[in-house]
């Protein structure tokens, strides 16, 4: 059972690691391509015949940069979801830590119970002694009243 759980955890860990690596690689690739698209050519801008192809090139570069930026955002969102899944995995499937916490709480409550039991027993004993004293005192007063009458 424990071996199966460890194997399952290792498989999930490898899947998380691969997904994180793929997302980071996607972000890096798209960023590098965007940087390359931002480079400006130092050609003469005075020729009118060159203006139309330059406008088309700029439009396609703009579109490609938007697509690359969207891909980066999607990869970042995937990384955020991965982090959230890892947190859930750590919280929900960390039974050993949960069991240790429950055991510690149970032990603390048992200690409190034994302390309270000890205090209650000593309180009972003190009350019993006081009751015996009050009974003796009451008996003595009753006997004195009957003797006086």
User: pLDDT tens, 20-72?
Assistant: 999 999 999 999 999 988 876 655 554 555 666 777 888 888 899 999 999 99
Number of structural domains, the chain? 2
| Same domain as 58, residue 22 | yes
Q: What is the pLDDT of residues 94-116, one digit of tens each?
A: 778 778 888 999 999 999 999 99
- What is the distance, to the nearest Å, from the Cα of residue 75 to the centroid of all Cα atoms in its chain? 22
Q: Are residues 77 and 20 in the same domain?
A: yes
Q: Are 36 and 64 in contact (CB under 8 A)?
A: no
Identify whether residues 59 and 23 lie together within a single domain: yes
117 in the same domain as 67: no
User: 109 and 71, same structural domain?
Assistant: no
**pTM listed for this prediction:** 0.51
| 61 touches 116 (CB < 8 A) | no
């Amino acid at each position: 059972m424990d071996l199966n759980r460890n194997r399952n955890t290792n498989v999930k860990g490898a899947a998380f690691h691969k997904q994180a690596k793929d997302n980071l690689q996607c972000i890096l690739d798209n960023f590098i391509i965007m940087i390359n698209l931002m480079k400006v050519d130092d050609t003469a801008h005075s020729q009118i015949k060159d203006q139309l192809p330059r406008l088309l090139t700029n439009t396609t570069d703009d579109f490609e940069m938007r697509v690359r930026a969207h891909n980066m955002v999607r990869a970042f969102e995937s990384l955020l979801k991965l982090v959230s899944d890892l947190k859930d995995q750590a919280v929900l499937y960390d039974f050993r830590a949960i069991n240790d916490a429950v055991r510690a709480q149970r032990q603390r409550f048992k200690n409190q119970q034994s302390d309270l039991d000890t205090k209650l027993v000593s309180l009972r004993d003190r009350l019993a002694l006081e009751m015996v004293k009050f009974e003796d005192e009451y008996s003595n007063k009753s006997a004195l009243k009957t003797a006086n009458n």
